[in-house]
A and B are shown apart, each in its own frame.
Chain A
Amino acid sequence: MVPTHIRDYIRPASVEEAWNVLAERGKGAKPIGGGIDALLYSVPETTAAVDLTGLDLSYVRDEGGLAIGATTTFTEILEAEPARAFLGGILVEVLEKVASPLQRNIATIGGTLGSAHPWSDVIPLLYVLGAELSLFDGQASRLSMSEYFARRVSGERPLITEIGLPAEGKASACAFEEFSSTGFDVAVLNCAAFLSVESGRCKTVRISIGGTPALATRLTPVEEALNGSPLDDGTIERIAAMAADTIDARDDRRATAGYRRDLTRVGVSRCLRRIVEQLGGVE
């Protein structure tokens, strides 16, 4: 059993109160949704858990796009009709394979973003869905995923209160591909792609690869190369090869860098072909 160093369990009455505790204690306190990682990855300097689940942040709302409260569990998202209907059911397709049913009853979407595990399937998916995060760090703000993770890299830890997914037009589709050793194991690598098309050409393009083994990022140069282009077989193979060359692939105990590049090529190719199928062809 992993020891826990938590000595204070704090249930703030408001987001402001939660932020004040976190700001005051720094690394001594950790915000929790389901609290799984606070137990599994407990470190001696973090002695307080700040439970955000009493702050009315568990909801899925259809606001044109989707608004998902940070402490909404994966089960709650999977059971919410607006989430099931969103963009061809991509949230159901991906989330019902995340962890186990028992864990999906505990784990929250905000907690997954906060934990930022490099193997996360949710993070590349939210990247390509164009998610925006509502944050609070003394004042409220709304940032893109890239902006949020850039702030994390610079040492800031704004609280996530809501995940917003923009509404997408009919001529858009999303696909996801995960590679793992077993159905239950975390990803060796995962790929997500989103496209909207106009007059037979790619208009909005978002591609994200996770588990390289670093945390997922958008592949901006690859997205730019596909933008404005038709989506024929030759283009798909060229873009998939470019993605394989672009990722920051490294070796770890799960896979070699070379294998990860191969998976990236195959994964991006599969995602783009599936998008073509969903859109009924892009010529």
Chain B
Amino acid sequence: MTITVTINGTSKRLAIEPGERLFELLRREGYMGVKTGCGTGDCGACAVLLNGRAVNSCIVFAAKADGGEVTTVEGLERDGRLHPVQEAFLDEGGIQCGYCTPGMVIGAVDLLSRNPEPTEDEIRQGLSGNLCRCTGYVKQVRAVQQAAAAMKGGGNDG
């Protein structure tokens, strides 16, 4: 089957298999920021924004993107500048091996889009679908706090 989908702002007509998962399509199209982790919707490494909402792309049919918009971590920068969430993850060192990072950044962008001033508890709840096996989440939480402050100051609205 053929779908029309806007990926990171570019409209594409793509041939897909009816039973294909969204992350398989995205990686085949070269969006390597979409990581494969558990494949069962538990770890969040494959998170992308589908119509503005962060989803595990390993448990979503590619067909569901038809007529919609997908944003991967590659699509967050604007005019050559990283998204405030990406900047904050770099500044705070909210990264160790890096495998969970794209999904966690996507999760944080979704969280801040609906709750621009989250408490620490709300950040931890909001990122509870993004597992990191290196860190203790402390620096990621700080990064989201920093991003929230930066975005409140009139930065990129994500």
Interface, chain A (partner B; CB < 8 A): 1-2, 4-9, 11, 32, 34-36, 38-40, 42, 49, 51, 53, 75, 79, 96, 99-103, 105-106, 183-184
Contacts and interface: CB of A to CB of B under 8 A. Distances in A.
Nearest to B54: A102
B128 A39 contact: no
B95 interface: no
B18 A7 contact: yes
Q: How large is the interface on B (under 10, 10 to 19, 20 to 34, 35 or more residues)?
A: 20 to 34
Nearest to B62: A9
A85 to B, nearest CB: 18
Contacts of A53: 64
Contacts of A105: 50, 53-55, 110
14 contacts: A4-B20, A40-B40, A49-B63, A51-B61, A101-B126, A101-B127, A101-B129, A103-B41, A103-B56, A103-B59, A105-B55, A106-B60, A183-B128, A184-B128
Contacts of A103: 41, 56, 59, 129
B56 A9 contact: no
Nearest to A42: B19
A36 B61 CA distance: 8
Nearest to B129: A100
A4 B54 contact: no
Contacts of A11: 63
A51 B59 contact: no
Q: Chain A: interface secondary structure?
A: loop
Nearest to A184: B128
Contact of B39 (A1, A6, A42, A100): A1
Contacts of B53: 75, 105
Contact of B21 (A4, A5, A96, A100): A4
A70 to B, nearest CB: 16
Contacts of B94: none
Contacts of B36: 1
B97 interface: no
B80 to A, nearest CB: 29
Contact of B64 (A35, A40, A101, A102): A35
B47 A102 contact: yes
Contacts of B47: 102
A101 B59 contact: no
Given A6-B18, A8-B18, A34-B60, A102 B39 contact: no
Interface in B87-139: 107, 110-111, 114, 125-130
B55 A106 contact: yes
B33 interface: no
Given A49-B61, A75-B53, A9 B130 contact: no
Contacts of A32: 61
A102 B129 contact: yes
Given A7-B18, A101-B107, A101-B111, A36 B128 contact: no
Contacts, number: 93
Contacts of B64: 35, 51, 53
A49 B18 CA distance: 9
A4 B63 CA distance: 14
Given A100-B44, A102-B44, A103-B129, A39 B21 contact: yes
A38 B61 CA distance: 9
Given A101-B111, A102-B47, A39 B18 contact: no
Contacts of A39: 21, 58-61
Nearest to A96: B125
A229 B126 CA distance: 42
Interface in B10-63: 18-21, 36, 39-42, 44, 47, 50, 53-56, 58-61, 63
A184 to B, nearest CB: 7
A23 B149 CA distance: 54
For the complex of A and B, list the 5 residue pairs with the smallest distance between their C-beta atoms, beginning with the closest: A100-B129, A6-B19, A9-B18, A102-B129, A4-B19
Interface string B59-99: 11101100000000000000000000000000000000000
